[in-house]
Amino acid sequence: MSKTALITGITGQDGAYLSEYLIKKGYTVHGIKRRSSLFNTNRIDHLYQDPHQENRNMILHYGDMTDSMNITRIIAEVQPDEIYNLAAQSHVKVSFDTPEYTANVDGLGTLRVLEAVRLLNLVSKTRIYQASTSELYGLVQEIPQKETTPFYPRSPYAVAKMYAYWITVNYREAYQMFACNGILFNHESPLRGETFVTRKVTRAISRIALGIQNEVYMGNLSGKRDWGHAKDYVKAMYLILQQDMPDDYVIATGVTTTIRDFICKSFDKIGIAVEFTGAGVNETGKIAGIRSEVFVERVGETYLKRIQNRIGETIVKVDPEYFRPTEVELLIGDATKARTKLSWEPRYDLDALIEDMMQSDIKEMKKEAYVSEAGYRILNYFE
């Protein structure tokens, strides 16, 4: 018998990779998507099946984490073996602007899922994965961070996720639910939302290389993150729900890197050397040199002269608008428990992650460059 999974947040980065992974494993995957005035399913369109098709293994339901009745009805209809609760207002900076909404979706949303499973008498059938986060460690109390490290959240997002973490533990202990927290450190991919730092950087670099954008404005460049690939991390989610006993696990690579170094490494992928000088809001990054053969191979000869003419120019600047009222300065995880108990091993290191993201964004942005150049040629023709 194939298993049935319900994924909240199926239209997000992790939802997309997890759906693909579970479908390949023979699951029937149900997902909750929000109503939107624009299409919001582009990450999962390749998995979509027409509702008139028989024996579908991918089914979408309209829903929202703020609507208890809707969540309960969907769980009642789907009768899932596994629920992956990934839906969240997941942007830390945005949570300072929308703290109540973030608490409602990220904190109470988790309670709504757990309580629905309990009220529908699905406790013995349904296993629940809660998308917990390394943001819980915030002002870190231990280096590296592991399952036993005390939490010190530093944003409305992290505080909401702290409620979600403990209500998951509480329902496990109070009602013997198979409910687990995956405490995942930052994980990225070509599908990462465009306003998270890694994707913002790989997109901006691609656009700068192709002459669509002149510079990029960043926030805190000294923050350190433990970045893995989302493809590796969704496998951990699955493994966490396949164990004999429910438990909580840290998922991380154990390597930490500054935002500044991430930027340099990403530029390096296309042969551009960037040099940073100054400090704080006055820190800037300049083009220090270009390895032409690498640039031509990765970006194309057409764009080489333009970028060579920019050597010495500032292309990275700091805008304090991107600073957070309270920052998480250092995250580095110790995933020993996951490695030993789940036999989880990440396949991607940071270099392979950046390679994947840069290749994808260069390809994507070339389409944009081509369209804008074609438009420019048409305009010139008519002038």
| Residues of this chain that bind ligand G4F (CB under 6 A) | 90, 92-93, 133-135, 185-186, 195-197, 200, 218-220, 223, 225, 259, 322, 324, 327, 331
144 binds ligand NAP (CB under 6 A): no
How many angstroms separate the CA atoms of 153 and 185, rounded?
A: 14
180 touches ligand NAP by CB under 6 A: no
Q: How many CB atoms lie within 10 A of CB 146?
A: 16
Q: CA 54, CA 51: separation in Å to the nearest integer? A: 8
Nearer to ligand G4F, 4 or 257 (CB): 257
- The encoded tokens of residue 224 equal 């350190």
Sequence-separated (6 or more) residues with CB below 8 Å from residue 239:
338, 342, 343, 344
Nearer residue to ligand G4F within complex by CB, 20 or 135: 135
Residue 148 Cβ, how far from ligand NAP at the closest point, in Å? Answer: 18
| Residue 257 in contact with ligand NAP, rule: CB under 6 A | no
In this structure, which long-range contacts are made by residues 240-243, counting pairs with CB atoms below 8 Å and at least 24 apart in sequence? 240/129, 240/180, 240/182, 240/342, 241/82, 241/84, 241/127, 241/129, 241/178, 241/180, 243/341, 243/342
Binding to ligand NAP by CB under 6 A, coded x per residue (else -) over 13-52, reads: xxx----------------x-x-x---x------------
Among positions 6, 74, 87, 216, the unique one binding ligand NAP when judged by CB under 6 A: 87
Stretch that binds ligand NAP, among 49-57, 82-90, 146-154, 354-362 (CB under 6 A): 82-90
> In the window 343-382, what residues touch ligand NAP (CB under 6 A)?
none
- Indicate the residue type of 262: F
Question: What does DSSP say about strands 187-188 and 228-229: parallel, antiparallel, or unpaired?
Answer: parallel
Residues 6+ apart with CB under 8 A from 118: 171, 175, 177
d(CA 46, CA 53): 15
Q: Note whether 12 binds ligand NAP by CB under 6 A.
A: yes
The entry of ligand G4F, ligand NAP, none near residue 219 (CB within 5 to 8 angstroms by kind) is ligand G4F
- H/E element holding 17? helix 13-24
Judged by CB, which is closer to ligand G4F: 81, or 226? Answer: 226
Q: Which residues are catalytic?
A: 133, 135, 157
Which of residues 4, 19, 28, 89 is near ligand NAP by CB under 6 A? 89
C-alpha count within 13 angstroms, C-beta hemisphere, residue 121: 0
Q: List the single partner that 189 binds among ligand NAP, ligand G4F, none, CB under 5 to 8 Å by kind.
A: none
88: contact with ligand NAP by CB under 6 A:
yes
Least distance (Å) between residue 64 CB and ligand NAP: 4
Minimum distance between the CB of residue 9 and ligand NAP, rounded to whole angstroms? Answer: 3
Q: Alpha-carbon dihedral of residues 349, 354, 357, 362, nearest 10 degrees?
A: -150
